[in-house]
Amino acid sequence: MRILAAMSGGVDSAVAAARAVEAGHDVVGVHLALSRAGGTLRTGSRGCCTIEDALDARRAADVLGIPFYVWDFSERFRDDVIGDFIAEYQAGRTPNPCMRCNEKIKFAALLERAIELGFDAVCTGHYATLIEGVQGLELHRASDNAKDQSYVLGVLTAEQLAHTYFPLGTTPSKAIVRAEAEARGLSVAQKPDSHDICFIPDGDTRGWLAEKVGTATGEIVDRSGSVVGSHEGAHAFTVGQRRGLKLGVPASDGKPRFVLEVRPVSNTVVVGPKEALAIAEIAGERFSWAGAGPQEATFDCHVQIRAHSEPVPATAHLTDEGVRVVPETPLDGVAPGQTAVLYVGTRVLGQFTIDTTVSAVPVGA
């Protein structure tokens, strides 16, 4: 096949490209420039898509002997990922920018251009596997559960899966990937993995949002509506948050309080006890299926609400409004805006963005 290898400058994408070459494919490497004012240096594992990363990707391509290009996707990234991130926080939701990047950039904008240029597939260093099932291609978890990235790929559609290539999916461990990179002479063999939000490399999300959307004083209230504190912008808070609340009125039981809800219209933050974070039901309108969808309107599955959280047995219901999921045991600290990925065994069935939640602990209980 003609393969376009997306090379981030990290060890995973470099080894994925190397395996594509070794498998006999016609491979071209490409690095996505996602910021026109990208930093020149990383700080340990913080940040990505920097000039340093582009140079690391180029060096890897040179070692592999493949053509290499840098494509400017900064405008699309600004509009579809950063813009979405800001808008979601302004709406009182907690977005996942990695999901949006996979959905809008790596497997939409990049894949579209690749197909236009005659490539058969885009190769990435994601840890996930593709299996040909009875009803077509299926997305499954990686062999190494600790590195499994199927959750962040849950946004992919059947058409996109048909043009993807994940050479690392069956690799037993990341240590094997690093050893292989070392053996191939790739300088990124011991490069740290990226963490945090790539466009907020210092990790100060609250400060970054305050700079982008400003501050506005509002009230912090308990579940009964009593004012217990104030804040300088509801967008700086997320469901489940405990630190940084600076409450002026202590809880009657003396226990810590957590953010339960963010109300952007009234610029109000609702806090309460930890047990009130338990969620008995989630639902969302925006959903997609990773391959063939479910055959029944009600079906058993597992639901996962974070990239590295444990999947929980659940029952899903397809309705005229979207998808509603009832877990067997309550979910902890779910925020509107998060992505719920549905699994059947190791297979990713699909995903939806959480719009509404139902607490397992009624007010006053």
Question: Which of the residues are catalytic?
Answer: 101, 198
Long-range contacts of 237-240 (CB under 8 A, 24+ apart): 237/262, 237/269, 238/94, 238/262, 238/335, 239/94, 239/277, 239/333, 239/334, 239/335, 239/336, 240/277, 240/332, 240/333, 240/335
Alpha-carbon span 298 to 130, nearest angstrom? 25
Q: What dihedral do alpha carbons 93, 99, 101, 106 form, nearest 10°?
A: -160
Q: Judging by DSSP bridges, how do beta strands 136-140 and 129-133 pair with one another?
A: antiparallel
Q: In this structure, are residues 358 and 280 in contact, taking their beta carbons and an 8 Å threshold?
A: yes
Alpha-carbon span 174 to 182, nearest angstrom? 13
> How many CB atoms within 10 Å of residue 120?
15
Q: Which two tokens stand for residue 344?
A: 């059947």
Burial 183-207 (b: 16+ CB within 10 A, else e): ebebebbebeebeebbbbbeeebbe
Alpha carbon distance, N-terminus to C-terminus of the chain? 60
Task: Classify the C-alpha dihedral 307-126-110-112 as positive or negative.
Answer: negative
Query: Order of strands across the sheet with 121-123?
Result: 68-72, 26-33, 2-6, 121-123, 164-165
Amino acid identity for residue 185 in this structure: G
